[in-house]
Chains A and B, each alone.
Chain A
């Protein structure tokens, strides 16, 4: 799997947009970008995933650059409950062992009141 690089920590004011970057410069054409988050003392929670088009759901938006070497997860209106570690993961889209998600150290997002 392609390696991802994320900043170890970020701060965001409550109510503002949180933009979490991820570099995946070695991503290959058939690999998806997934985002999960882990709130303290809980299991990881799926947020969103995408291949090359930008994606949006009720939780967040995912912006992937045209060369696919980086992406940004956007939480449009961060709340205190969004404080968590956010993981960017690159995975093959099918076949093989695509359940073997490997979580790195992620980005600790702290939303401040």
Chain B
């Protein structure tokens, strides 16, 4: 049973380019969460999605960032016109149902985005 799969593992972009980060949740999981970890900081929540729905995007920057989780295929975190401050590790987590007391988040290994 494969865990949460993220790709690419490392992504290098120049300023102004677009970055697409992919996340395939664990089998049977229909809830996906994206987190960002800036250098020397803790992880911070960005967005929570179910299949075809954005449930909570309160942690996502208003500009340039978007996320989707289509009916088929992985969840995508898209960053348009990247800037150096977007350089960070982006982690995806999944759960079978909406996270509650006895549910734990299963995290992927992350995508390290470097903006030149």
Q: Which residues of A contact B (CB under 8 A)?
A: 32, 41-46, 49, 87, 93-94, 97-106
- Does B77 interact with chain A (Cβ within 8 Å)? no
Contact A43 B42 (CB under 8 A): no
Q: When chains A and B are docked, how far (Å) is the Cα of A101 from the Cα of B91?
A: 13
Q: How far is the CB of A89 from chain B (nearest CB, A)?
A: 9
Instruction: Give the size category of B's interface with A.
Output: 20 to 34
Which one of B33, B44, B106, B107 lies within 8 Å of A102 (CB-CB)? B44
- CB-CB under 8 A from A102, the residues of chain B are 42-45
B101 within 8 A of A: yes
Contact of B91 among A44, A98, A100, A106 (CB under 8 A): A44
Query: Is there contact, CB below 8 Å, between A43 and B107?
Result: yes
14 additional A-B pairs beyond A97-B48, A99-B56, A103-B43, beta carbons within 8 Å, are: A41-B109, A43-B93, A43-B108, A43-B110, A44-B93, A46-B104, A98-B100, A99-B31, A99-B48, A100-B45, A100-B56, A103-B42, A103-B44, A106-B42
In this assembly, does B88 line the interface, its C-beta being within 8 Å of a C-beta of chain A?
A: no
Q: How far is the CA of A105 from the CA of B106 in the complex (A)?
A: 20
How far is it, in angstroms, between the C-alpha of A61 and the C-alpha of B101 when the chains are bound? 18
B64 at the interface (CB under 8 A from A): no
Dominant secondary structure at the A interface: loop
Q: Which A residues are in CB contact (< 8 Å) with B105?
A: 44, 46, 99, 101
A44 surroundings in chain B (CB, below 8 A): 43, 91, 93, 105, 107
Distance in angstroms between the alpha carbons of A45 and B110 in the assembled complex: 12
Q: Identify 7 residue pairs between A and B in the complex whose beta-carbon atoms are under 8 Å apart, listed by A's number.
A: A32-B101, A49-B101, A87-B42, A97-B56, A102-B42, A103-B37, A103-B42
Distance (whole angstroms) from the CB of A113 to the closest CB of chain B = 26
- Report the minimum CB–CB distance from A6 to chain B (whole Å): 11
| CB–CB A100/B59 < 8 A | yes
Which residues of A are found within 8 Å of B37, using beta-carbon distances?
103
Q: Which of B59, B91, B101, B106 contacts A94 (CB 8 A)?
A: B101
Given A43-B91, A43-B93, A101 contacting B45 (CB threshold 8 A): yes
